[in-house]
Amino acid sequence: MGAFFSFTCGHFGTGGGLGAEIGKPASQNIYIGVKDGDRSSNEPLQCLPFYRDGSRNSAADFLVEQAGPGEQHVKPNVVAIPADEIQRDYAWATDRWKAGEIELSIYTPFSGIPDPKIATADELRDALLPGVTAELVIDNSTGTKTKTACFAIGFDTPGIRLIDSGLPGACGFALHDKLGFAAKLVENEPLLAVQRWDIAESLRDPNPIHQLGTCAGFAFEVPPGERRTLRIAIGCYLDGIVTTRIQGRYFYTRCFSSLTDVLNFALADDHFVEHRTVARQKDRELIASGLSAEQQFLIAHGTRSYYGSTQLLDVAGEPFWVVNEGEYCMMNTLDLSIDHVFWELKHNPWVIQNLLDNFIRHYSYVDEIKLDPRDAKRRAPGGISFSHDMGAHNNFSARGTSSYELAHLKGCFSFMTQEQLCNWILLAACYVAKTGDTHWLRQNRHIIDACAASMRARANPQTGLMTHDSDRCEEGWEITTYDSLDESLGQARANTYLAVKCWASWIGLEMMADLVAFEGNGVAGEHARRLNEENYAEKIANHLISSVGTNGVLPAVLEPENPGYQSRILPTIEALIYPFYWLDFLAPKHRTKLQKWMKHPLVAMLSRHTRELLNDPQRRNLFEDNGIKLSSTSDNSWM
């Protein structure tokens, strides 16, 4: 967690491996397998299909004619175990592969990350270990002859070297002391370290180690009637400044001294067992959830991908939480932070405070608004909002700007000023509702009041709908988070998806005002009264109700001339989640207003809208395979 590091395998024939700071799996070959006979046997190595075929013979680059004709591209003597002989059990924190005598378990336990300001060094080492562990069991208990097993990584770049892990019985390899892995046999038997270009050759060769080799790992023999368990630690250690503009180091460098320290800690018996125990607890938790197998798979996959994309930085001595957006590696994309809020508040609420504060300090801005979408020149005061992200690929963007947003556009890459304003408000409201942190709320009351003023500046005073694009768009228009869909979800102005999000934001602002007022702070005053008087939430709700068709369906965009007026979108109901979520955590005395909102006709209207779309006889919001379409007019959809 927080290391922006992954160990990936599982997609057959495409490799994987150790990846740091990349928006995709690594592209190494992973060789995990057994061969009949002892180390010197010529039998093929039967491996899990975690490698690409047709590897180059790098030795031939040196040998020239000694290599013989055609030997520049010989394949190693490795055979992929057929898919139908492989069984996978992909649990929340254990990924287990079984094939014949091979059983591989990869452990990726997770838990709350303790607040670094109050956590002990030991707690931080447990939480921030930049690595995962694995166990490779070779069960030859019913076999009649010796088997030789291996775990090795064929790197796509040179620079691997054997490292002395210092742990008795263990050995390891490192790529420039940045990425590495180490292993030891539970049986405390000697482990053969191998490093050559060709994994199969390395097991047989009298020189198992050639420092020029790019494929490195471990081999061990398993006599008939016995089994062996190899424990493996796989980790990274990126030292020094890793981000630009806002210069940060990995927080784990405060509690680990080196890659060797990381690998030894992971491999030490007590930690290894504890790591595995936590993983198994998590496995059981998800299994007990009652979710379908498909849902469990998605959650297990999402959890790993999420943590593999996180960075906990140390910026000038303070923690700085970053989630990188998948393949794009945009940092703390705010319209995704709001999706992650439920997870983070469950596991480590301090992370949300960290995000809120960093958006205020570094990535807030004050704009003007356009009075007419088609005229970039007529402007009026706008208000505070927040940038789409904080930069990309470890480059923090300039203060108040994102890596994503551009002027002059009406589609993808335009500004999301209104939506990000909502997202920050909703993030704050969720944080305060869940944690009851009114200290933070009082410290940031001026920001929250500025958010209310900014909401107001963008809205139509009658309908409450978002009506004014930010002047940052120039002659372009604002978009929503659904940036790769058509106008039904791409356009922000008069969008009913965004209208419900604004409605929830107003309710959140009201809730936060109440929380401080109820606590006896008499200065809520003017701003809170104005919220009550204007009641934008009510305006939006009433306008949406008045806009619903006789068929019970709300148009996507409330502009009859806009093609989005014909679109039927499901995300209209998305923002209902926030008031429901807050209700769960508020003290009874603070629930009244929210409970009233839950009974508002808007909710019934949105409920009917959703049922109409899902049960539409024309199946306009379904794909042929019954997959759900977010918008009836777009063939693009998101999970």
Residues that bind its own copies (CB under 8 A): 23, 61-66, 158-161, 174, 176-177, 206-207, 210-212, 239-241, 244-245, 327-330, 391-395, 397, 402-404, 406-409, 411-413, 474, 483-486, 634-636
Nearer to its own copies, 380 or 412 (CB): 412
Which amino acid would we find at residue 376?
A
Nearer to its own copies, 297 or 328 (CB): 328
Nearer to its own copies, 12 or 328 (CB): 328
Chain-centroid distance, C-alpha 194: 35
Least distance to its own copies from the beta carbon of 81, Å?
Answer: 31
Nearer to its own copies, 158 or 601 (CB): 158
Least distance to its own copies from the beta carbon of 608, Å?
Answer: 29
Nearer to its own copies, 66 or 626 (CB): 66
Nearer to its own copies, 80 or 409 (CB): 409
Nearest to 430 by CA among 548, 334, 346, 372: 346
Least distance to its own copies from the beta carbon of 533, Å?
Answer: 41
Nearer to its own copies, 23 or 44 (CB): 23
Cα(404)–Cα(582) distance, integer angstroms? 31
Residue by residue, DSSP assigns 317-373 as TEEEEEEEEGGGTEET-HHHHHHHHHHHHHH-THHHHHHHHHHHHHSEEEEEEEEET
Least distance to its own copies from the beta carbon of 28, Å?
Answer: 16
Residue 494 has which token pair? Answer: 């008069």
Least distance to its own copies from the beta carbon of 11, Å?
Answer: 19
Residue written as token pair 């003290």: 587
Which amino acid would we find at residue 395?
N
Least distance to its own copies from the beta carbon of 334, Å?
Answer: 16
DSSP conformation class of 471 = G
Least distance to its own copies from the beta carbon of 206, Å?
Answer: 4
Which amino acid would we find at residue 236?
C
Is residue 328 within 8 A of residue 23, CB to CB? The reply is: yes
Q: 33: which strand partners? A: 47, 150
626, exposed or middle or buried, with CB in 10 Å at 0-12, 13-18, 19+?
exposed
Nearer to its own copies, 157 or 289 (CB): 157
Least distance to its own copies from the beta carbon of 177, Å?
Answer: 5
Is residue 506 within 8 A of residue 440, CB to CB? The reply is: no
Nearer to its own copies, 182 or 537 (CB): 182
Three-class SS string for 120-187? CHHHHHHHHCCEEEEEEEEEECCCCCCEEEEEEEECCCCCEEEECCCCCCCEEEEECCCEEEEEEECC
Cα(93)–Cα(408) distance, integer angstroms? 45
Least distance to its own copies from the beta carbon of 240, Å?
Answer: 5
Helix ranges restricted to H, 459-535: 487-490, 496-518, 525-534
Nearer to its own copies, 5 or 536 (CB): 5
Least distance to its own copies from the beta carbon of 611, Å?
Answer: 27
Side-chain half-sphere exposure of 428, counting CA atoms within 13 A: 35
Main-chain dihedrals φ then ψ at residue 35, nearest 5 degrees = -135, 155
Cα(449)–Cα(170) distance, integer angstroms? 59
